[in-house]
Copies of this chain bind each other. A is one copy, B any other.
Amino acid sequence: MIKVTVYITLKKDVLDPQGKAIHVALNNMGFDKINGVRQGKLIEINLDTKDFDEAKEQVKKMSEQLLTNPIIEDFTIELE
């Protein structure tokens, strides 16, 4: 079994209200050296295969077809 993680982040120009809210909240709590916060998602997928290339290929397809919305999101894939 191979565990693959997809890291999904918002594209640079897309507004991130969640990130902003976290930033403000952290400031209020006294963390004052923060220069920016962005929130993203991660999705861990366990695959029944031993073939790393296949796993990567499959998860890339999943990411493009379902897991991300290319209008607003970018992604990277990591295999374990």
Chain A residues packing against B (C-beta within 8 Å):
1, 7, 9, 19, 22, 25-26, 29, 31, 33-49, 58, 61-62, 65-67
| Pairwise interchain contact A58-B31, C-beta atoms closer than 8 A | yes
| Pairwise interchain contact A46-B34, C-beta atoms closer than 8 A | yes
A61: chain B residues at CB < 8 Å are 31
Determine the distance from Cα of A37 to Cα of B42 in the docked complex, in whole angstroms: 10
By beta carbon, the residue of chain B nearest A33 is: B48
Determine the distance from Cα of A47 to Cα of B35 in the docked complex, in whole angstroms: 6
By beta carbon, the residue of chain B nearest A28 is: B66
Determine the distance from Cα of A31 to Cα of B64 in the docked complex, in whole angstroms: 13
| Pairwise interchain contact A33-B7, C-beta atoms closer than 8 A | no
| Pairwise interchain contact A34-B45, C-beta atoms closer than 8 A | yes
Query: With A9-B42, A40-B44, A42-B41 in contact, is A67–B22 under 8 Å at CB?
Result: yes
